[in-house]
Amino acid sequence: MQRTDARYKTPFCALVGSMSPTIINPTILVIGGTGVFGRRLLTHLTRFENIAIVLSSRSLKKANDLSNSLSERHPDRQIRGIALDHRQNLAEILADLNPFAVIDCSGPFQSADYNTAETVLKSGAHLIDLADARKYLAAFHTHLDDTARKHKVVGLSGASSTPALSASVVRDLTRNWQRIDTIDICITPGGKSEVGASVIAAIMSYAGADIPTWRNGRLETISGWGQSKRARISGLGNRRVSPVETFDAESLGPRFNVHARVSFSAGLESQLEQWGMELIARLRRHRLVPHPRHLIPLLLQFRKVTRLFTSDQGAMQVEVSGIDASGNQAHAKWSLLAKQDHGPFIPVLPAAAALRRLLENSIPVGARTADQALRLEDIQNEWLPYDITASTQNTTTQTSIFESFLKPTSFKQLPTSLQKFHSATGHPVWKGKAKIENGKSMLARLILRFMKLPHAGTDVPVTVAIERCIGRDGERSENWTRSFDRQTFSSTMKHTQNGDFTESFGPLSFSINLHADRKCIQLPISRWHLGRLPLPLKMAPQLEAMEFEDTQGRFNFDVQIRLPIAGMLVHYKGWLKPNERA
């Protein structure tokens, strides 16, 4: 007679018409089973064979109603509901059920503590937690790993879109890469998708507050739901997106040794909802409204109206750039598109994948984030029954826009520091010091303020971040972000298909007659445009820009901009060195 794992509750002497024991399927307890995430997960778990599902809710009626509904649709599955307040009587329920695993779908995640997780692990059950709150995930291993190992069980957190799916995608895209420069992650759910109060509460907790992000190779802060931008999402077109608080923005930088940037953004299909969130964030940022948690009921009611004008299609996108295994400048994009309102299943599929791995006994004991226990293919296998598709695009180049414009012979004659700065594999972040002079005229001062150009100073800390991009049509560009102390302005440089070398500042673009020799690079303006409208060259800014190498082998810049009427606008010069990471 075979003895099975005690947590399966197999009676050893139960003989029913034979000498074989009755095999009872392992019990899976789903906490928060009647919530938005819990319902989706339970619907998916009915596809699993040989498990007994127990779903919980603080309301026994809600639990029974849902279990009865699932049982009617799946009469061959073992499903029942129970009343459970995991903050009060969890230990007693666990002692009675003796589950194989507990999946926690309860929220709000931003206010979660480790009491529930610790109680589950001490009971001898595996834990799969959907919680993706940044602070919770950051200390999950430290708080719970010893407990999990002592009781020989597995504890997984963040078993959701982030970081389980997002980090798995990054790992898959960058396998064997020599360097990662940028990681940009974006989620845009379909507007018709159901959203619960816990999700709105999580969003409200950081709207307008400082949230961590990885920028210029270090951890900095940015305003939640601020600094929105337009992003092109495969399958959906352009969406307005804003930065959101995630563990990825804090952890992926040091984990993958990212040299420049990690960003995580979200966009709402309803522009009214998107603008509303940005407005709330701005008001809170300027202390014009208190904590916006009291707006949650109003926002839930508001969504009942906005959902009427939205679709059932959502997407997730992960883009990375850097140096691939062959030493080429590379850009990889992974795009997921969900139709027929199947997008809301995505946040629960990593939890289902983790459960499948646990049932196979293929995850070592201990506590960790779920992405460290899952492969991308594990999660992809779970979405096969749904209208969810994913694709990957990879593009590479061996030359930068400066190399292609100057031709290899001229480029290789440049001083070493200039070659390193402008090559396709050049470091994405450079730091140094600058001396800055400003024009004295009233018009010059107004233009300086409008264009956010740097203020006068000596030994001003300067950072230049260069993002090398490869467009869908193969056109390459470089986005330059120059930060002088706390003042930042950006531009985009291109070597266009018609052979021009251009630099754009918003709607203004300048054609540059780039010239290089063995000592320096000079960048005089030859034409300029407002959008597609050509402007008189006599009215163009007079640009004297030079790059050269100093006696210490450092990259040097000297830029002076003058205007026909305002006179000198700004003159900044200084040096830069690559901000190399270990």
Q: Does the predicted TM-score (pTM) go above 0.75?
A: yes
Residue 195, pLDDT score:
77
| Mean pLDDT (whole number) for 86-113 | 86
| Mean pLDDT (whole number) for 523-551 | 90
Question: Does residue 170 share a domain with residue 135?
Answer: no
With beta carbons less than 8 A apart as the criterion, state whether 4 and 11 touch.
no
Q: Model confidence at 13, in pLDDT bands (50, 70, 90)?
A: very low
CATH at residue 466:
2.40.128
Question: Does residue 316 share a domain with residue 189?
Answer: yes
**Which is more confident, 558 or 230?**
558
Question: Does residue 558 share a domain with residue 417?
Answer: yes
In a domain, 123, yes or no: yes
Residue 86, pLDDT score:
82
In a domain, 1, yes or no: no
Q: CA-to-CA distance for 341 and 422, rounded, in angstroms?
A: 46
| Mean pLDDT (whole number) for 450-474 | 85
| Least confident interval from 2-16, 168-182, 193-207, 300-314 | 2-16
In a domain, 568, yes or no: yes
- For 523-533, the pLDDT digits (tens) are 989 899 998 89
Domain span holding position 272: 162-341+389-395
Q: Model confidence at 2, in pLDDT bands (50, 70, 90)?
A: very low
Q: CB-based burial of residue 58 (10 Å sphere; 0-12 exposed, 13-18 middle, 19+ buried)?
A: middle
Residue of 333, 319, 312 lying closest to 386 (CA atoms): 312
Question: Does residue 574 share a domain with residue 490?
Answer: yes
User: For the chain, what is the domain count?
Assistant: 3
Q: Where are the alpha helices (DSSP H) in 360-462?
A: 376-382, 401-411, 416-422, 442-451
- For 273-318, the pLDDT digits (tens) are 899 899 999 998 888 877 777 788 888 888 888 888 889 999 999 9
Q: Model confidence at 6, in pLDDT bands (50, 70, 90)?
A: very low
Question: Does residue 166 share a domain with residue 137?
Answer: no
Q: CA-to-CA distance for 507 and 172, rounded, in angstroms?
A: 37
Q: What does the DSSP 8-state code read for residue 161?
A: I
Question: Does residue 408 share a domain with residue 358?
Answer: no
Question: Does residue 323 share a domain with residue 464?
Answer: no
